[in-house]
Each structure stands twice: as structure tokens, then as C-alpha cells.
Amino acid sequence: MKITPMKTTLKFSTLILALGLSSMAMQAYAFGDADSMSEGPYTQQFKALDTDNDGTLTYSEAKKDKVYAKGIRAADLDNDKTLDEKEYSDYKAKVQNKNTKRVVNDSVITAKTKAELLKDEGFKSMKISVETHQGVVLLSGFVENEAQIKQAETIAGAIEGVKSVKNSLVVKSN
């Protein structure tokens, strides 16, 4: 007869303990969720733009980020006039990849142009500076004669990815 109430008390306190633990676990989960679990690389930026905090960006919200001022229709894949976080971050990643590629291409163009110029005996002793920005190659420095100026420009213009050549080469005056 004495055992039953003890058991009940034990069960009751176990239940309280279990409830306490599970609510602590839920709180920990909730904190974890807010801090890191759903965070992508663009989550903070997305939240900053979402001024009414409804989880989507209207065109006017998104356009505060200049990346979307031009490309908003391309970003809005389901064409519902708002960007959800996935649409936002996919487009952002795409644009940033493109930018990274462009920078790589510029340095590849510079390296290839220098290599091609060095293959030519006439340019080996010249100090020709090559710079590339967004596919535009700038040649500068001193060469021996007018023909070399043209030749360097032709060589640079033939490199893959070159949009145009700005030729600032000059003939040595001595």
C-alpha cells in the first residue's frame, strides 16, 4: 500500500523533469535555428533588404541592392514579382561567380599576351607593360620602331577573350 504513492510521486517528478528537459531542448533548437541552421551565405543581406520582414523581397525591396536593379526579372525565376531567399541567393551567387570569372580571365589574358610577345624575338628585349581590365588590354612601354607598335597590337588583339587593345606604346627617341 505504501509503494503505490511513492511510485506515483516518482513518475510525476520524472514527467516534470522530462517536460523541463524537452522545453530546454526546444529552446536550444530554436536558438540554434536563428543563429546558424538556416543561414546561407546571403541570409544576412536578404534579411537586411526585407524591410517588412515577410520573408520575401518585393522588387522595390530587392532593388536597394544594385545587383538586382538590372537583373530582377532574371532573378525572379517563378515570375511572381517577389524574390524568396533561394531566388535571391541563387542569383547573387551567379552574378558573383561571373565577376570572379571575369577577374580570372583578365589575368589570363595578361599572362597570355606577355607570353606571346616574348615569343617574338623583336620584343624580347623590350619592356612592354601589359594590363587587362574587363577584356581590354592596355599596352605601354617603349619599342624600337613603328612596326613593332602595330605588331604588338596585332598579337594582343589575337589573344582569346580580348575585346579591344589600347595601344600606348611609343618608339624610343634615341
Residues that bind Ca ion (CB under 5 A): 50, 52, 54, 76, 78, 80, 87
Residue 81 CB, shortest distance to Ca ion, in Å, is: 7
Which one, 88 or 123, has the nearer CB to Ca ion? 88
Which one, 33 or 80, has the nearer CB to Ca ion? 80
Give the separation between CA 4 and CA 51, rounded to whole angstroms.
59
Residue 96 CB, shortest distance to Ca ion, in Å, is: 20
Give the separation between CA 19 and CA 22, rounded to whole angstroms.
5
- Pull the grid cell for residue 12: 510525476
Which one, 35 or 78, has the nearer CB to Ca ion? 78
Residue 33 CB, shortest distance to Ca ion, in Å, is: 20
- Pull the grid cell for residue 88: 535571391
The candidate with the shortest Cα–Cα distance to 133, out of 160, 113, 106, is 106
Residue 45 CB, shortest distance to Ca ion, in Å, is: 13
- Position 171: which residue type? V
Which one, 53 or 174, has the nearer CB to Ca ion? 53
Which one, 67 or 155, has the nearer CB to Ca ion? 67
Q: Which residues pair with 137 in a beta bridge?
A: 132, 165
**How far is residue 46 from each of residues 50, 55, 62, 84, 127, measured CA to CA in Å?**
6, 9, 8, 9, 48
Residue 62 CB, shortest distance to Ca ion, in Å, is: 9
Give the separation between CA 95 and CA 51, rounded to whole angstroms.
23
